[in-house]
Amino acid sequence: MKIADSHAHLYDKKFNRDRGKVIQRAQKAKIGIIIVPSEDITSGKKALALANEHPELFYPAIGFHPHNTEKFNEEELKKELETGKYVAIGEIGLDYYYDRDVVDKQKEILKRQFEMALTFNLPVILHVRDAFMDIFQIIDEFPGLYGVFHCFTGTIEEVQEVLKRNFYVSFSGIITYKNAEKIREAARMVPPDRLLVETDSPYLSPMPMRGKRNEPSFIVHVIKKLSEITGIREEHLIETTYSNTQRLFKLNVGAT
Ligand SMILES: [Zn+2]
């Protein structure tokens, strides 16, 4: 029985000092899949380099994060995707928390990346902050688009909109935080076949590791909490989220 961490930025410089040990601890914790999303071309290439070193563990994704709209380069992104080495376009999305003044630019770039997801038949990894209504509207302009809302932090109403569109919902260590009752309520609404788990390493360490650098082996705390919240047995949750990750990202890896 193996675990899938559907979102970890293992190329981050916070791992430069001891990345090998972090990987060893992940494997010791029975993690069999780590999806490595990126934020721009440079980090995407780093994610790919990791996957080339450890093809049995890492699966890279590439895309322009809403904070990197000014770097957007369609040609370069296309060139990378044409290698056929990336399992998704991400993380991409809308984030109005810091940059409300570049809303139009974020939307435009998101649409161009959605276009590519359809062309390359790849899932999208979505980062959404304070922008759910807008992203639903844009998704509806792209029939056939599929993917995951990563690190979900929305409400019950918002998770229902996600599920209506047949997207997956990924939960991070945030569900272990005291003030996250709304998110836990949303988690209870998600049917098992739409659930994913993630660490979002090096960010968002789950309790009791909060405040430390996050790493994939800490996923066990997310799973434990999600099991408590949903009433789904831990082993079943591990199996289900693993096979959901395989299905969404079309990975050819063993189920055990
Ligand atoms: Zn991320």
pLDDT tens column, 121-148: 999 999 999 999 999 999 999 999 999 9
Q: Separation of 38 CA from ligand 1 center, angstroms?
A: 7
Digit-coded pLDDT (tens) for 225-248: 999 999 999 999 999 999 999 999
pLDDT category at 57 given cuts 50, 70, 90 is: very high
Q: Separation of 198 CA from ligand 1 center, angstroms?
A: 9
Q: Determine the residue type at 142.
A: F
Q: Say if CB 64 and CB 38 are below 8 A apart.
A: no
pLDDT category at 252 given cuts 50, 70, 90 is: confident
Q: Who's near 125: CB < 8 A, 6+ residues apart?
A: 7, 35, 37, 61, 63, 88, 89, 90, 91, 92, 147, 148, 150
CA angle 45, 50, 51 (to 5 degrees): 95
| Average pLDDT in the chain | 96
DSSP element (H, E) containing 32: strand 31-36
**Rounded distance between C-alpha atoms, residue 178 and residue 143, angstroms:** 38
Q: What is the pLDDT of residue 243?
A: 97
Beta partners for residue 196, in sequence order = 170
List CB-based neighbours of ion ligand 1 within 5 Å: 91
Of 157, 102, 99, nearest to 132 by C-alpha is: 157
DSSP element (H, E) containing 45: helix 41-53
Domains in the chain, CATH or no CATH each:
3-249 (3.20.20.140)
> What interhelical angle do 74-81 and 41-53 show, nearest 10?
10
Q: What is the pLDDT of residue 113?
A: 98
Q: Separation of 188 CA from ligand 1 center, angstroms?
A: 23
Question: Is a pLDDT exceeding 90 seen at residue 255?
Answer: no
Q: Separation of 1 CA from ligand 1 center, angstroms?
A: 25
Digit-coded pLDDT (tens) for 176-212: 999 999 999 999 999 999 999 999 999 999 999 898 9
Q: Separation of 16 CA from ligand 1 center, angstroms?
A: 18
Taking the model in full, what pTM does it have?
0.96
- Phi and psi torsions of 150, nearest 5°: -85, 150
